[in-house]
Amino acid sequence: MQLRIYFNPAELTFIEPPEEDIYIVIDVMRATTTMTVMFEQGARQVLAAQTLEQALEAGRKVPGRILCGERHTQTPPGFDCGNSPAQFATMDLNNRELVLTTSNGTRALFACPEKSTRLAGCFYNGTAVTAKAIELAHEHQSNIAILCAAEYGYFALEDAACAGYLAQEILRQEPDIQIHDSTHGAITLYESYPPTILHEKAQSSLDLIATGQQKDLEYCLVRNKSVCVPMVTGIENATGLLQLVHPASQLIEI
Ligand SMILES: O=C(O)[C@H](CS(=O)(=O)O)OP(=O)(O)O
């Protein structure tokens, strides 16, 4: 079994990313942390959209769907909620369907090969998402890839550091996994920029603080508080949106 890390979705355009790999997609601030919290609060399904228009259309199609997302950290007009894990943590989402579109995270899910297995990873579900990726990689006899969503095409420190943290977790659980140069780099970044330092240094963190959304950092920069592992299970035919669920079978002890 091998582990590779991509620091930017653009890297996938220079290679032929294997469809059979298990992809852990990371957008620490905030999309993949937000998805994890949505399932913690009982969501039945999260539908990931690339554009505002797709999200609005998917929201209109089925009454009762909660339309969520952001552009430049703010809730778009006509949407019910933004992209704040702290906000979703206060909501009862039992059996609800949510449509989510964000600037980087939901798009990164679409950057993976079309039929690949995709998990949403973050600090918040670190142990759970890596355990699930290893389980699936054994089941499918495949490799694991970690994809950082990055920030509008640019390197994002918190995603790269989180990739290093997840890589450490994978190595702890699967010591014989073969690692690539990218893994050494990510682990070194995590050791230099743990969550306490990311809080002060990562630009996304500073942006959330500057816009009064610092409460989200209590979710984005905390390790292993959740056993929820959002997983892409397919595409909704009517809308083309990616369907994510958190199957009960994924519930594990951490
Ligand atoms: O909502 C977020 O935190 C970001 C928006 S921005 O990049 O900070 O403008 O979106 P995400 O897709 O979750 O990175």
Of 83, 158, 242, which is best to mutate to test ligand 1, by the most ligand atoms within 8 angstroms of its C-beta? 83
Ligand 1 pocket, residue 29 CB under 6 Å: yes
Q: Tens digit of pLDDT for each residue in 39-50? A: 999 999 999 999
Ligand 1 pocket, residue 30 CB under 6 Å: yes
Q: Tens digit of pLDDT for each residue in 111-164? A: 999 999 999 999 999 999 999 999 999 999 999 999 999 999 999 999 999 999
Tokens representing residue 214 in the block: 């610092």
Return the half-sphere exposure (C-beta side, CA atoms, 13 A cut-off) of residue 179: 21
* Helices (runs of H) and strands (runs of E) counted in the chain: 10, 10
> Would the pLDDT of 250 be above 90?
no
Ligand 1, atom 14: nearest CA belongs to which residue?
Answer: 104
> Would the pLDDT of 254 be above 90?
no
pTM above 0.90, yes or no: yes
User: Hey, CA dihedral for 212, 213, 217, 218, is it positive or negative?
Assistant: positive
Residue type present at position 142 = S
**Euclidean distance between CA atoms 247 and 207, whole angstroms:** 33
Q: Tens digit of pLDDT for each residue in 200-221? A: 999 999 999 999 999 999 999 9
Ligand 1 pocket, residue 72 CB under 6 Å: yes
Rounded distance from Cα 152 to ligand 1 centre (Å): 9
Rounded distance from Cα 176 to ligand 1 centre (Å): 35
Q: Judge contact between 109 and 208, C-beta under 8 A.
A: no
Q: Tens digit of pLDDT for each residue in 100-119? A: 999 999 999 999 999 999 99
Q: Judge contact between 146 and 9, C-beta under 8 A.
A: no
Burial of 194 (C-beta count, 10 Å sphere; 0-12/13-18/19+)? middle
**Euclidean distance between CA atoms 185 and 179, whole angstroms:** 11
Rounded distance from Cα 1 to ligand 1 centre (Å): 32
Rounded distance from Cα 206 to ligand 1 centre (Å): 12
SS3 content of the chain, % helix, strand, coil (to 5): 40, 20, 40
Mean pLDDT of the chain: 95
Q: What pLDDT band is residue 63 in, cutting at 50, 70 and 90?
A: very high
Q: Judge contact between 109 and 118, C-beta under 8 A.
A: yes
More confident of the two residues 233 and 249 = 233
Helices (H), 93-240: 105-111, 126-140, 157-173, 181-192, 195-201, 203-210, 217-220
**Euclidean distance between CA atoms 106 and 90, whole angstroms:** 22
> What is the reported pLDDT for 249?
41
Ligand 1 pocket, residue 31 CB under 6 Å: yes
> What is the reported pLDDT for 248?
62
83 CA: nearest ligand 1 atom: 1
3-state secondary structure of 67: strand
Ligand 1 pocket, residue 73 CB under 6 Å: yes
Ligand 1 pocket, residue 250 CB under 6 Å: no
